[in-house]
Amino acid sequence: MNRKLSVSKLIFYIVLIGYAIICLGPFLWSFITSFKPTSEINNFNINFKTLSAKNYVFLWKEFPFARWVFNSIYVALIVTFGNLLFNSMAGYALARINFPGKKVLFFAILGMMMVPGQVVMVPTFILLSKLGWVNTYKGLTIPFLTSLFGIFLMRQFFTSIPKAIEESAMIDGLSRFGIFFRIVLPLARPALSTQFILMFTGNWNSFLWPSLLAQSEEMFTLPVGLNSFYGQYYQFWDQVLAGVMILSIPTILIFLIFQRNFIKGIATTGLKE
């Protein structure tokens, strides 16, 4: 019995480690290559003497990578904080405040969640170009400040916190806004941090809309910039892969730092609906 168990355990470990190599291998290989000189990118072995950060320095100096990094951070932060505020407000109202039209609004949200975003792509683009928002920060941020999924998530969270806390605050004469900002929002920290990471990584990685809205090089976000850079420099893999690392390392780091909450948050938001 014991022996059989240890054999199955061994198989389990082989599967788990094998899959971990499949997951991490491509990153490690690309990471190492990004430090190699162009002449050695196809070499299997790693020549530690020739490894250097020159590809990164090159990208930073010769291309607007710094600008793209700035654009990505700026846009992702504005969109993320907009979503945190507006989704919580709407989610809170739907969970706790009685107002006419609330039911209709909630069902409308559920209905809208079934519509793929690409359906509104063409008219939204026409609208943004009429507004003169194409190739501006406004265009990259304002249409994305709220999210249906985020509202849904916050509503579910607010329904689960006890009502008594708000009632006592109301007796003390606090307004709805006071209750929301001083009492409810601080309680929502776990839901907010999950949403922060989801929204930030989602927006940082977003490609389709920024590729339409950012048209000149200085407005590119990192994914758009990397795509255009790759198109022109596809034979210089050492430099291209340095660009890949600049794009992917920030979200991986954020994930590693917050991974405990992140995975827990994803797990619960996926199911406790």
Partner 1 sequence: MNLQLETKNNFKKNVMTMKKLKRRERVDGWLFVTPFVISAAVFFIGPLLVAFMLSFKEYSYLDMISMFEAPWVGFANYLNAFQDSTFLKALLNTSIYSLGVVPIQLTIALLLALIVDSNLKGKTFFRVAYYIPTVTSTVAVSVMFMFIFKTDGILNRILAIFNLPAYNWFGDTRLALPSIMMMAIWSSVGLYMVIFLAGLQDIPTSLYEAARIDGANKLQEVLYITIPLLKPTIFFNLVVSLIGTFQVFDQAYVVSNGTGGPLDSTMTVVLYLYNTGFRDFQMGYASAIAFILFAIIFILTLIQRKFFGEETEF
Q: Let me know if 160 is exposed, middle or buried by CB neighbors in 10 A (0-12, 13-18, 19+).
A: exposed
Q: Note whether 187 binds partner 1 by CB under 8 A.
A: no
User: What is the C-alpha to C-alpha distance for residues 207 and 202, in angstroms, rounded to an integer?
Assistant: 10
Q: Note whether 143 binds partner 1 by CB under 8 A.
A: yes
Residue (165 or 267) nearer to partner 1, CB: 267
Residue (143 or 214) nearer to partner 1, CB: 143
User: What is the C-alpha to C-alpha distance for residues 127 and 112, in angstroms, rounded to an integer?
Assistant: 19
Six-digit token string for 240: 């291209």
Q: Which of 75, 76, 151, 188 binds partner 1 (CB under 8 A)?
A: 151
Contact predicate 156/272, CB 8 Å = yes
Output the smallest distance, CB 62 to partner 1, in A: 18
**Candidate segments 46-54, 56-64, 170-178, 186-194, binder of partner 1 by CB under 8 A:** 170-178
Q: Which of 46, 53, 66, 208 binds partner 1 (CB under 8 A)?
A: 208
Q: Note whether 139 binds partner 1 by CB under 8 A.
A: no
Six-digit token string for 143: 């249409």
Q: Note whether 75 binds partner 1 by CB under 8 A.
A: no
Residue (53 or 110) nearer to partner 1, CB: 110
Q: Which of 73, 78, 145, 169 binds partner 1 (CB under 8 A)?
A: 145
Q: Which of 1, 164, 171, 271 binds partner 1 (CB under 8 A)?
A: 271
**Candidate segments 58-66, 132-140, 157-165, 226-234, binder of partner 1 by CB under 8 A:** 226-234
85-121 exposure pattern, b = at least 16 Cβ within 10 A, e = fewer:
ebbbbbbbbbbbeeeeeeeeeeeebeeeeeeeeeeee
Residue (15 or 165) nearer to partner 1, CB: 15
Residue (35 or 92) nearer to partner 1, CB: 92
Q: Note whether 32 binds partner 1 by CB under 8 A.
A: no
Q: Note whether 190 binds partner 1 by CB under 8 A.
A: no
Q: Which of 6, 7, 20, 52 binds partner 1 (CB under 8 A)?
A: 20
Q: Note whether 164 binds partner 1 by CB under 8 A.
A: no
In this structure, which amino acid lies at residue 76?
A: A
Name which of residues 93 to 112 contact partner 1 (CB under 8 A): 93-94, 97-102, 105, 112
DSSP alpha helix (H) spans, the chain? 2-33, 54-62, 65-96, 102-112, 121-130, 137-141, 148-160, 164-171, 176-178, 185-187, 189-205, 208-213, 222-233, 237-271
Contact predicate 124/143, CB 8 Å = yes
Contact predicate 86/145, CB 8 Å = yes
Given its phi and psi angles, is residue 37 left (phi above 0), alpha (psi -120 to 50 degrees) or beta? Answer: beta
x/- track of binding to partner 1 for residues 37-66 (CB under 8 A):
-----x-x----------------------
